[in-house]
Structure 1
Amino acid sequence: MHVCIIGGGVIGVAAAWQLAQRGAQVSLVEARRQVAELTSHANGGQLSYSYVAPLAEPGVLPHLPAWLLRRDSPLRFRPRLDPLQWRWGLAFLRACNARQAAASTAQMLGLAALSRATLQAWMRDLPLEFHHVENGKLIVYRHAGPLGKARAQVQLQAGLGGARQQVLSVDACVALEPALAPVAAALAGGLYTPSEASGDCRTFTQSLFGHWVARSGQSAWMATRAVGFRREGRRVRALRLDDGREIEADQFVVAGGLGSRDLLRRLGYAPLLYGLKGYSLTVPGAAGCAPAISVTDYERRTVYVRLGDRLRVSAMVGMGLKGLAPEPDRIAQLRREASAFVPRADFGHAEAWAGQRPATPHGRPLVGRCPGMDNVWLNTGHGALGFTLACGSAHLLDTLMAGEPPAIDPAPFAPR
């Protein structure tokens, strides 16, 4: 079987590896010169298998007015005369109910568990080097209210088979992670999950891509943009490229992030995907002062992850903010907050980055057959959880394409 995959981020490369292990011939098409150059380039670095609750949940609604009006809020919304933006926003608001949020959390925990198991299996087989550590994740809270809600979430996820978690006092947080001492007076406590992990998504994707090429003898079509399909009824015969060439294949997988929208429209399917812009700073030579454990500052929605000798700080969401260039005021805000949280790090030499994360309103990725087509599949819409869910999505997609019983219920992720 020949499979053509469109997209060379962590989602597309993970799918290429998984399908190649089954014996498929895989062609990977990527618009950039290298893999992992867009959303997978400098994301937060957390593998948060126990923290997959959707953004759309009832607790978000009371915060929306302040988030939308304050310039320094974690969420910035710029309204546009864009029907997709408003359709997505209305669908998001409809999804902010307790019943759907609880169901989505349970479904995403299943996919996350599959992703963890799949990555562990790959790592037993491959010498993947991507600064991977399994030393837990600590969420620190500045106020008692959110900490109390965290206790309730721990109980909910424990009932769903979630990982063991511990609610900690401020002193216990500092004892666990001494790098928090400078901000201890501003904290109310924390939530620690020992089983969580972290790593460099870009390095992981590049490493896995290298193994795929070496083992399969196949090469990708780099710096090549997919522009359409040659179609016969419910089947696609070939992918059309921007240089006039075509790739014929038996099956096609669309895993191109936000670029998937325009491509799928050519098949009569319009997925409700919207870009949530995220930001990060990468500080070199910060191993001596950065937290050893992955830390999330809950109220600021800021993540701190050590990647070898570097510190990755990521935060904020922008809706309606076009392009990939990071806005100077957002980066300045992130630099100020991070400097106060890790005062010994030299943020003057930090590398700034921004990326558009393709998200669905309900928070679940789209993994499954494209509606109306027999041999086109989707693997997109992972939002901020692409790195966490990439391996599990690849496994789920592989079993669906092979017609085998999947390890989890695929219905919640099926494109509609």
Structure 2
Amino acid sequence: MILLLSLSFKNTPQKVREYFAFGREDKERLLTLLCEEKEIDEAVVLVTCNRTEIYVSTESKNATGSVINIILEKCEEIVGRSIEHLRDYVFCYTEKGAVTHLYKVSAGLDSMLIGEDQILGQVKEAIEFARDCNSVHLYLNTLFRDAITQAKKIKTETMISKSGVSTATLALRAAKDVLSSFEGKNVLLIGASGKIGNIVLKNALSYDFSHIYVTKRSHNIDMSPNVMDRISIIEYDDRYHYIEQADVIISATSGPHFTLTREHILKNSLSVDQKVFIDLAVPCDIDNRIRNLKGVYYYDMEDMKKFADENNEKKKLSIERAKVMAEEGVEKFLKWALFQKNLEVFSSAVESLEEEIKRIGEKKTLEHLFYKIRDNGSLEALQSIIDIFQCN
């Protein structure tokens, strides 16, 4: 049985999701703890800024409740505090529900911004990380591989990603709505070397900002010659010194603490005339008390969700086609899984048929098989077999 526990932006407030925003070490520890349990055979943990999902494979078909309790207990060990009061936010999916959910997530159909591409990369990273931790084997490996393959097909054959925009794009659009134009404006980007920050930086370079200040904690920022004159890399500790010069301040780190606090902003900014602060982090990077400051426009991931909902309305036709394709992928995987779980049945049937052929010949053996299917199978099963033969 494949089982999934999910907390996402759809059903869980950001403050609650922050408890489950596991970093690399916590994910590795969680996978180890889960796979040490005899009830759990495989496990994958998917963590993004909008969701935390835990997929497990188990042979305990009638022990859904106990497996859920085990997962939550191990999460509690990682979080370091009781999460009993958070159970109402946890959605549970099993078998087809869990498989369908992963296919939709991989294709961007369950994203805040439908059709966005970043989630597919995050799903790939989740299964690769689980492989490195030796926490996946046949079933989850195959499930994630097939879901990723189908997601690529959906993105190629539908328009859900063609008209898609990223959270980074939504953030810059929000800033432009406030400032009307970016001409002559400066932006300060905290966390430019991170995944989301890097996407924001690439998007910012496509606009006519006068200058872009970016903090660095590593050296993986692309500084091609044609952009060097527009970007200044500053030390993270100097970030407050540049707030006065910046019109747009965006923070997108994965740290547990505020990158900007209200007190330090007031201390370092003499003028807050129309400054846009955008927080793209979970947990939050920017002290949201600044929203009450005069001239400050503050947006966080909850606001991005509202903007994404508006964008999603434009994609409805492509979404319906993508959902059908996802369902086709789900059915294909479920048939594989059913066949895989019954290999012994098929092997035994082949042996039995071989013996029957030796005894009464091929023709009579096949006739007996068809009569057996007719007499013991359901009407739907019989019709399915007839359809298969008619196709050939």
> Structure 1 length normalisation: TM-score?
0.27
Higher CA-based Rg: 2
Name the one with the larger strand percent.
1
Name the one with the larger helix percent.
2
Structure number with higher relative contact order (C-alpha < 8 Å, ≥ 6 residues apart): 1
